[in-house]
Amino acid sequence: MKVAQENGGFDPQEADLLDILFRTARTFNEWQARPVDRGLLLEAQKLAVMGPTSANCQPLRIVFIESQEARTRLLDAVAPGNIEKVRSAPVTAIFAQDMQFYDHLPKVFPHRDVRSGFLGRDDHIRQTAFRNATLQASYYMLALRAVGLDCGPLSGFSNEKVNEAFFPDGRLESNFLCNIGYGNPTSLFERLPRLTFEDMCSFT
């Protein structure tokens, strides 16, 4: 995407993509009765995995809930207000972090030994895994929008119950859920206010 111009502005030809990713994109709670092609989930992964993580550690793991059996197990962990959102979604992703991500570091960061810096350092492992998996999950949601899908991220569920149901060996830990599909535009509320630059940013 080539949006930066010599004059510091944006290329008008990229305006549609910026709308898709940010300006007109919405969080959906209701879904059209359209299946999600697994090929689109793959294409989104190929895009999202290119986003930066510290030492290229890539701790995000995604479990896609499609089957009725898996959905029933997931619904047991979901807060009452989110049950119908999850029940009706074509696909729900469990975004999780691999708590042994460092085992892949010799492959994904071969320049020097960084794996040894994590061994026995549980707090460092947990902070690195959570921070970078959250980053990657955000990249993935933007990638889903880029390939034409809609997202409905939510955190109203029990991480403990999801971990028990899907990750009993403890290697993976759930972060948050995201419903995926083609949103029902008639269900949208008016967009809520966003903070201004002045509210969010400062210089020092």
pLDDT reading at 6 higher than 90: no
Mean residue pLDDT across the chain: 93
Mean pLDDT of 120-143: 98
Q: What is the pLDDT of residues 18-34, one digit of tens each?
A: 999 999 999 999 999 99
Residue (of 98, 94, 91, 66) closest to 155 by Cα position: 94
Domains of the chain: 33-186 (3.40.109.10)
For the chain, what is the total number of helices (H) and then of strands (E)? 8, 4
Helix or strand holding residue 123 (H, E):
helix 122-146
What pLDDT is stored for residue 9 in this prediction? 56
Q: What is the pLDDT of residues 57-98, one digit of tens each?
A: 999 999 999 999 999 999 999 999 999 999 999 999 999 999
Query: Global pTM?
Result: 0.91
| Lowest-confidence region among 1-5, 118-122, 139-143, 162-166 | 1-5
Alpha-carbon span 200 to 82, nearest angstrom: 29
